[in-house]
Amino acid sequence: MKQLLLMKRRLENDDGAILILAAVLLIILFGVAALAVDITLKSTDRQQLWNSSDAAALAGASQLPNGLLAESVALDFALDNDGDLAGNVTTTFRCLVGDRNKDGQPDATEVPAVCDPGADVPASGPPWVCADGICTAPCVPADGDTCNTIVLGTEKTTDFAFAPAIGIDEGTTDIVSAACRGSCGAGLTGPVDLILVLDRSGSMTNAGEVPVGSPNDMDQVERASLAVLDFFDPAVQHVGLAVLPAADKLDECDNASVIADGRFLVVPLSNDYKDTLNYDFDGDGTDDVDSTSELVNIIRCSTDGGNTDLGGPIRDSAGTTTEVGDDAITELLNNGRPGVKKGILFLSDGGANHPPSVAHPCEYAGIQATAAKNQGIEIFTIGFGVDNLTAPGRMVHCDRDEAGPYGQVLFPPDGAPVTALLAAMATQPADNRCSVGTTDYENTDDDYFFCIPKDEDLSDVFLAVATQFAQGSRLVQLPPGG
């Protein structure tokens, strides 16, 4: 009997211990469940914050290189998606370029063509940070820098539901998103069909306008055009060539002695310019393009001379050549790839004086440009030689327009500057007229019209146009410490 009583007491004691253990286990179980709920809350907030931050960075990057607008758009987008972020969003900017040979230095051809971090940032070395084939440097739009990357820092606090029971009321999540517009160090991925329209008229000579020993104008045009081909990927970007005045049909390196004997479009849209890399156009020891390509050959052999018809190469509605459809619009619309972005890069150094069949050749050029833009073709225009605005026949006025929209009636006494015409021909026109004394290529108003003196490197402008045309916004991973 005594032993039975002892066993009963032991069982009663074990029941009490089990109850205590079960209570402890329930507390731990509820604690783990509560922690899981709060972790889930924070994880959900983190994912939502990441999505919002990435989207805001992309929205901001779409406005680059206008840094002020990019910052405003990114901030508005972030707050519209999550009002709790007020006061918790920071923006900085970077210049992001390629390091394709992975030597730890930014590719020289991309600065300042792709982005320009300013004179206080050297061509190589700190503050550039390079890794995985790209390089970044700090960039400050307020200082006049041209930035292609926006970095958005966001922070959000999650109020916990159960963790306050153990003294943890909230958790903080920090996200950094970076978005770039343009080539972003990886080459251009957007497919484009582009026609180069190059002025090789008689005014495209040095004529004492650049320092002795400098490359002549056509040498500059050749090098700049080949720089675009070097930059492009022929599998993605197709390029054609039109010239003014029209080329001789028997030898397209030469201008036609009589306009009716020539053609404006000398090379249709092509993708063979890098089939065999055997020509080092920039002398850097690396072959860049295919010298057997018709496109490369005619760019290299073009000579200057003849009259200036700015409208015909875009669309020859005046019928000044015997080749039907030998203009940029016809080629892009008839032979361009369906759904692919289409554009014209148009360079000239003077006012139109042809075709002879129209009263106002500058107005005619503007009409043809409008026809292209109405078909969805983007036009970039470059005024070459703005360092000499007063030289006869240069960027001063449209002599033959007289009472036309670019004539002396509206712009006495010398007519409208040709820069007004070129600005109007461009997509997103904004007539800034190009300031006299410009020391670098100018596009401060973010339109599609560029100005460049003849003693500056035309390649920078061509590459800037190529990047702007094929650009899009995408998220990027910055190098560690970048």
φ, ψ at 2 (rounded to 5°)? -60, -40
Q: What pLDDT, on the 0 to 100 scale, is given for residue 207?
A: 44
The model's pLDDT over 219-277, given as tens digits with 9 standing for 90+, comes to: 888 988 998 898 888 988 999 999 988 887 777 777 765 556 788 999 999 999 999 99
Tokens at residue 313, please?
């190469």
Compare 400 and 430 and report the one with higher pLDDT: 400
Q: What pLDDT, on the 0 to 100 scale, is given for residue 418?
A: 77
Closest Cα to residue 459, out of 108, 186, 141? 108
Closest Cα to residue 141, out of 75, 76, 91, 88? 91
Q: What pLDDT, on the 0 to 100 scale, is given for residue 61?
A: 85
- Looking at the predicted structure, is the pLDDT value of residue 372 above 90? yes
Q: What pLDDT, on the 0 to 100 scale, is given for residue 452?
A: 77
Compare 295 and 394 and report the one with higher pLDDT: 295
Mean of pLDDT values over 300-308: 77
Instruction: Write down all domains in the chain, each with its CATH number in brackets.
Output: 19-185 (no CATH), 192-473 (3.40.50.410)
Tokens at residue 90, please?
């920071």
Q: DSSP label at 28? A: H
pTM summary value: 0.67
Tokens at residue 140, please?
């400050």
Q: What pLDDT, on the 0 to 100 scale, is given for residue 24?
A: 57
The DSSP code sequence of 133-189 is: TEEEEEE-GGGT-B--EEEEEEEEEEEPSSGGGGT--EEEEEEEEEEEES-TTS---
The model's pLDDT over 108-141, given as tens digits with 9 standing for 90+, comes to: 878 887 888 998 998 888 899 998 889 999 999 9
- Looking at the predicted structure, is the pLDDT value of residue 211 above 80? no
Q: Please count the residues of the chain.
A: 482
User: What rounded mean pLDDT belongs to the chain?
Assistant: 77
Mean of pLDDT values over 415-424: 75
Max CA separation in the chain (angstroms): 134
- Looking at the predicted structure, is the pLDDT value of residue 389 above 50? no
Q: Which amino acid is at 410?
A: L
Q: What pLDDT, on the 0 to 100 scale, is given for residue 1?
A: 55
How many whole angstroms separate alpha carbon 247 and alpha carbon 254?
6
